[in-house]
């Protein structure tokens, strides 16, 4: 029964797929639109378009490996002009991979075990192991929740961040593809539940997928702008009041996109006379206009815009935006700014990122495929250094400041902190996840919190790590375990010598260990990905 419903929905959407002809299938001019109210109904309808994609049929025959990625990148970078950074050690790779995938640093015994493992494929196996752990799902659910909510002005009683994060974590853990996750978020149409008057402002915010729309205050213009920003990597919000000053988007295009998300008819204020309203029909940014049967139904409009966003073969922005965001997080720089792409001329290595985006589509929008591609490449496994110009991009990995949840995880690993300090760390180290790393700077508040917070210092002085260190008689072994315990790496010869010298000249070994722990916790390395 539902198969017929799905085919009916597909037949009335005027898509550019050559997989069906509505009139041939039904021989009727005005087919009846089925119900598209529940998430399940919407996703099942969208499944037709997913299965109709030509890329789905050819994807299994195409390959794009980490070696292919490295070769393609080398062709575009002038190696004699820009020297590539050296490959990183096993210890640094382990720590970097743990931070990027699981949001935490490895334990000392994991560092030692990985370093002594002779398996030549241990790095690739580590990536697979981390991607199959629950920490991966939670870390990236938290990231996307921050992306959606960071600049939201929504009423706190009408949103539920935790519900969205939990829903995303479950989706990532179950390997739900990115297209289905996005479809659920964009096609959601939360409605006020009149039967639950005792629950203040119950707009279905307990259903995690509703919270993207609720974060946009259910306002058509804001939903359109955030859909383009997050899921296409382009900025169209400037076009709400006037034509975009430096891009192709016109004011009418913005409001035609916004019309998809209106609960009823949608009108654009006249530019010369704001009191005058101009009724707008929904039309996607690339010009697609849904059949009239879709235009008169709010739920159907959101299904239509989700289909145009995700499954239109001409919309390469959708796949490219996800690839660019993950690349930006793993390498420290994107091929372009993650949510404010202007003209395509601003894209670095345009052909490469387009190819990666196409392969992401061919791989059925599998998020883990992107992680494996990048993390098993040479570009990801190079040492870090500051990038001074765009021509140097990807010759090294840019030093990256840790997200607040990563800072908390690093502190919790060595100290038993309470919820109050956790909240302080989260708020003090909070930063817009969409701001490029090159524009982020540390703050005096962050430094003072780490250096002077009485609770943090008290917990460090009474930590299990300190107790273990004090049981070590050898100064050299103590220093080595100190670095493994806090920075998840072995100390260098110079660091070992300096630490041993400090221990020898002090009369109070306990205070000396406190000092050494304090120095490492307040080092730049403790708060950055190396």
Task: Write out pLDDT tens, residues 198-222.
Answer: 556 688 899 999 999 999 999 999 9
DSSP sequence for 23-85: HHHH--SSPPPPP--SHHHHHHHHHHHHHH-HHHHHGGG----HHHHHHHHHHHS-TTTSPPP
Closest by CA to 395, choosing from 406, 380, 408, 410, is 380
Instruction: Tell me if the pTM is above 0.85.
Output: yes
Tokens of 258: 């916004």
Say how many domains are in the chain. 2
Percent of the chain whose pLDDT exceeds 70: 87
- Find the farthest-apart pair of alpha carbons in the chain and give their distance in angstroms, rounded: 94
Query: Do 427 and 377 fall within a single domain?
Result: no
Tell me, yes or no, whether 355 and 413 share the same domain. no
Residue range 58-84, pLDDT digits in tens: 666 789 999 999 999 988 886 556 689
**Which tokens belong to 318?**
């959708």
Q: Tell me how many degrees the CA angle 286-287-290 measures, rounded to the nearest 5.
A: 120
Q: Enter the tokens of residue 280.
A: 């707008």
Give the C-alpha separation, 257 to 294, whole Å: 14
Which of residues 364, 398, 432 is at a domain's end?
398
- Identify whether residues 368 and 459 lie together within a single domain: no
Proportion of the chain in helix, strand, coil states, percent, rounded to 5:
60, 5, 40
Give the structural domain span for 323: 66-78+88-132+315-381+393-398
Residue 8: strand, helix, or coil: helix
Query: Which CATH number belongs to the domain containing residue 462 in this structure?
Result: 1.10.3130
Encoded tokens for 8: 């009916």
pLDDT digits (tens, 9 = 90+) for 405-448: 999 999 999 999 999 999 999 999 999 999 989 899 999 999 99
Q: Using DSSP, state whether 384 is helix, strand or coil.
A: strand
User: CB pairs under 8 A, 24+ apart, for 503-508?
Assistant: 503/475, 503/478, 503/479, 504/475
The pLDDT of residue 32 is 63
Tell me which of 365, 398, 431 is where a domain ends: 398
194, part of any domain: no
DSSP structure class, residue 101? I
pLDDT of 113 above 50: yes
Q: Is the pLDDT of residue 106 over 90?
A: yes
Token reading at 223: 């939903």
Q: What is the pLDDT of residue 190?
A: 92
**Which residues 6+ apart lie within 8 Å of 18 measured at CB?**
none
């Amino acid at each position: 029964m539902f198969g017929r419903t799905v085919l009916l929905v597909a037949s009335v959407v005027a898509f550019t797929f050559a997989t069906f002809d509505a009139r041939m299938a039904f021989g009727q001019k005005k087919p009846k639109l089925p119900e598209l109210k529940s998430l399940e109904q919407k996703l099942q309808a969208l499944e037709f378009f997913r299965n109709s994609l030509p890329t789905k049929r050819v994807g299994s025959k195409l390959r794009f490996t980490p070696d292919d990625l490295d070769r393609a990148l080398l062709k575009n970078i002038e190696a004699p002009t820009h020297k590539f950074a050296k490959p990183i050690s096993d210890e640094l790779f382990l720590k970097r991979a743990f931070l990027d995938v699981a949001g935490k640093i490895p334990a000392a015994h994991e560092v030692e075990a990985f370093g002594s493992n002779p398996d030549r494929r241990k790095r690739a196996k580590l990536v697979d192991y981390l991607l199959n752990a629950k920490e991966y799902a939670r870390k990236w659910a938290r990231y996307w929740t921050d992306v959606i909510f960071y600049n939201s002005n929504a009423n706190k009683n009408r949103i539920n961040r935790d519900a969205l994060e939990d829903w995303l974590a479950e989706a990532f853990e179950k390997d739900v593809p990115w297209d289905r996750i996005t479809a659920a978020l964009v096609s959601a149409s939360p409605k006020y539940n009149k039967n639950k008057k005792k629950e203040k402002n119950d707009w279905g915010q307990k259903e995690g997928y509703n919270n993207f729309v609720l974060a946009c205050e259910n306002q058509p213009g804001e939903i359109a702008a955030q859909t383009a920003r997050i899921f296409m990597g382009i900025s169209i919000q400037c076009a709400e009041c006037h034509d975009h000053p430096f891009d192709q988007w016109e004011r009418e295009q913005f409001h035609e996109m916004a019309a998809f998300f209106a609960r009823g008819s949608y009108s654009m204020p006249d530019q010369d006379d704001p009191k005058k309203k101009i009724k707008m029909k929904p039309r996607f940014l690339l010009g697609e206009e849904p059949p009239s049967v879709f235009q008169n139904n709010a739920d159907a409009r959101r299904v239509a815009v989700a289909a145009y966003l995700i499954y239109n073969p001409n919309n390469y922005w959708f796949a490219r935006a996800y690839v660019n965001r993950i690349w930006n997080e793993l390498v420290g720089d994107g091929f372009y700014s993650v949510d404010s792409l202007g003209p395509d001329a601003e894209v670095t290595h345009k052909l490469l990122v387009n190819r990666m985006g196409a392969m992401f589509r061919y791989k059925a929008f599998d998020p883990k495929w992107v992680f494996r591609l990048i993390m098993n490449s040479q570009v990801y496994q190079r040492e870090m250094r500051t990038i001074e110009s765009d021509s140097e991009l990807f010759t090294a990995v840019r030093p990256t400041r840790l997200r607040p949840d990563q800072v908390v995880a690093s502190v919790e690993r060595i100290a038993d902190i309470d919820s109050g300090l956790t909240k302080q760390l989260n708020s003090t180290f909070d930063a817009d996840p969409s701001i490029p790393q090159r524009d982020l700077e540390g703050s005096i508040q962050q430094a003072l919190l780490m250096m002077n917070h009485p609770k943090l210092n008290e917990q460090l002085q009474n930590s299990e790590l300190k107790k273990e260190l004090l049981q070590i008689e050898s100064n050299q072994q103590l220093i080595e375990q100190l670095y493994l315990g806090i920075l998840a790496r072995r100390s260098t010869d110079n660091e070992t010598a300096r630490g041993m010298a400090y221990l020898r000249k002090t009369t109070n070994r306990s205070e000396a260990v406190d000092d050494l722990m304090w120095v490492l916790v307040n080092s730049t390395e403790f708060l950055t990905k190396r």
